[in-house]
Structure formats: structure tokens, C-alpha cells
Amino acid sequence: MPFSLDGLVSTSISCVEMHTSGEPTRIILSGFPELTGTLMEQRAQAKENFDQYRRFLMLEPRGHRDMYGAILRPETELVKVGEADFGVLFMHNEGFSTMCGHATIALGRFLVDCDDEQIFPRRKLLKHDTETQTTAIKLHVPCGVVDVSVPTLSKGKSDPSRPVSFVSVPSFATGISVTIYLPKENRWPELGGRESITADFCYGGAYYCVISVSELGFPQGISEDHIQKLSHATALLKKTVNENSDLSYLTRHVQTAEQGVLYSVLIVDDTKRENVLSDSEIGLCFFANQQIDRSPTGGSVAARISLAYAKGDLLIGEQRKFDSIFTASGTGLKGFIGSAFEEVKNEGEADGSRKNTCVRVKVEGYANYMGYSTFVAEKTDGLGVNGFFI
């Protein structure tokens, strides 16, 4: 740095900047306040006591409404007993999420490349497969443990020419072809007088509503020209589901009965569009406070694969390609590949029904480094560590 800030700065946080198919991951290396206890206790501490640091890093002027971040947690209860190698907390424009696929892919590369024992004390304990030239990482995320596989070069560093993959926590459908009645105040103009919509609901570490763009009232398909209108419609749809107690089963875990909330609405383009790969499903994901995912959304890939499996449209081992409108636009960004990895049977399924069957899903994608950053807050800065949101 060509000048010194000694004595002027009250806060300094250092990060590594990465992106997965265009979606950013700001990985916090140092400067975030100390968190203790189990991973979920650490998440609660971050939410209750240090949310200003999330705003500092995610929102303007240091971030933007679509920034995404990862807080490294080298010590969790599962790391201590050897069930995981490392932990992480995820954050976005609204708070702290339970799962993030694109950030998991980025973190896989970062953790393999990290040779700082203070950041990653168990780096030397990672298992390397010489036959496949991959390194395995068990990553403890708020929704459980995901198995990450990172392609590596001969010197042990990650290989950016091959995709990182992870195997999800058990994923499942919670509702297929569900009719959602929309109160008058929650309807949008493009419905054309309709009072309800039909959508699917599924879980891939977080809860997703999957709906076609034509069902939302946009027969012209997904277009950047209609982003604001699509955002308005999906916000009202999410509000309807989250406020209706009769629909709470759509966001209830089929194994644990733990109640969640609808985190995201994933719009699938069911219209014919030019210059799009015909073998790929195109989607646009609105999550958190209407944040737009530039990637095909790793958690939603797990959820959508589990949905296809529940419908009987997909077998174990079968793959599907997924694109966002950005990876499908010819910019050089690569989409994701998802496949049903293994079935996890639930109680009460002796009849062979797949309705509530969980599957673990393999998700593959590419992540790249963008840079290294240190963000500061001067003592005299009225904004301090509070970002702002427009």
C-alpha cells in the first residue's frame, strides 16, 4: 500500500474474492469477530451480535445488493470429532443462509490451495486420491455435512480446468403441482386476473419454489428486460407461502420435522428461446431479499434433482445440465451438472413410493479466483461498519 492508515482505522477485514459461474463469493480470511460454540451457535452469534459486519462486507459501498460471502469456521463440533474437516457460515444481503452450492464449489478450491495452517489447521489431513487426482473435503455447513471433491494438480494445488463437485445433504420434494391461492394484495399484473398459480416445492439445503415463467404470467420467457417485474412477482409469491400457516408443510423437513421458510423462488424457462442449449434447463433464482443468483444455484440443483427423482423422471446416476440466464448467454461462463447420487430411504416408504424419498445429489461446477481485498472503516467515517442498501 503506497500510504499508511496506522491509527486511522477502527476495523480491517481481509478477504479472498472468487466467483462460480459469475456468482461472487467473498471469503473472509481475518478480521471477523470471534465466534464460539457449535456451528449453529456461531451462526446465532453472528446474527445477533455481529450483523453489522455482514452489512459492512455485503452491502454498499464495499459490496452490492447481490454480494455473497463465506465466513471460515475452522473449529466446529463436527470438526472436533473428525466428522468434518472444516466449517463455514454463509451470508447474503438479508442474513445468513443454511446452504450455498456455488460458495461450496469456490471454497473447495480455496481450501485445497490454502497452505496457511492458522486459517486451515487440518489442511495436511485431507485425503488425496492419486488415481482420480482429486482431494476430498468434508465441509460442515449449517444444514449438515457436504462431501466436496476438488480436482488437483501434481503439486497438490487445485486444477481449474476440471470441475469441483459436492454431494449434498439429503434433498427431497415437499410438494408437487401445488395450487397456491394468492390474496388480492399479493397478485401481480401479469397474472391476467388469475387468483392462483401452480408450482413445485423442494429442499436442497434450503427450501425452493420451482415455477415456470409462463405460469408466472410471462409467456415471452425469462428476459433481463423483465427482471424487475419477475422480482416483484416472485417476492409476492414467497410472501404468500411464508405467511400462510396452511402451507407450512412445504417448508418442513421430511426427516426431522424442523420448520423452515421459503428461501428462494426458482423460475424455469419453459418457453422456446434462440441461442440456448436445448439439453440444458434454464433458470433464474431469486433468493433472500430478492437477490439474483448469477450461477445456476447449487442448492437449487440439488433440490431440482430431488424433485425430478420424486416425480419419477430421473434415475440414480442420471445427469442433467443447468444454466442461469447468464451462463446460457454465450459469455463463456459454465453452468452446473447435477445427478442423483444415492437414495436415502425414509420411514413409511415400504410401498415403494418416491413421494417423500430423500436423495443425495452430486453437483458439479467451476470456480475462479478474482483477487484479494482488505476493507477498512476509518474511525471518523460516519458510515462505520454499517453498509447501506438501496
Rounded Cα gap, residues 18 and 38, in angstroms: 27
Rounded Cα gap, residues 320 and 341, in angstroms: 12
β 164-167/134-141 pair status: unpaired
Query: By the 8 A CB rule, do 204 and 171 touch?
Result: yes
Question: Which of 100, 114, 209, 358 does the annotation list as catalytic?
Answer: 100
Q: For residue 46, what is its C-alpha cell?
A: 453472528
Rounded Cα gap, residues 47 and 122, in angstroms: 27
Tell me, rounded to whole angstroms, the distance of Cα 233 from its chain centroid.
21
Rounded Cα gap, residues 300 and 322, in angstroms: 10
Give how far Cα 193 sits from Cα of 182, 189, 244, 256, Å: 11, 8, 21, 39
**Backbone Cα Rg of the chain:** 21
Peptide bond just before 24 cis, omega within 30 deg: no
Rounded Cα gap, residues 12 and 185, in angstroms: 45
Per DSSP, the chain holds a count of helices (H) and strands (E) of 6, 19
Q: What are 378's strand-pairing partners?
A: 9
Q: Is 100 one of the catalytic residues?
A: yes
Query: What end-to-end distance do the CA atoms of the chain give, in Å?
Result: 31
Rounded Cα gap, residues 318 and 80, in angstroms: 35
Q: Give the residue numbers marked as catalytic.
A: 100
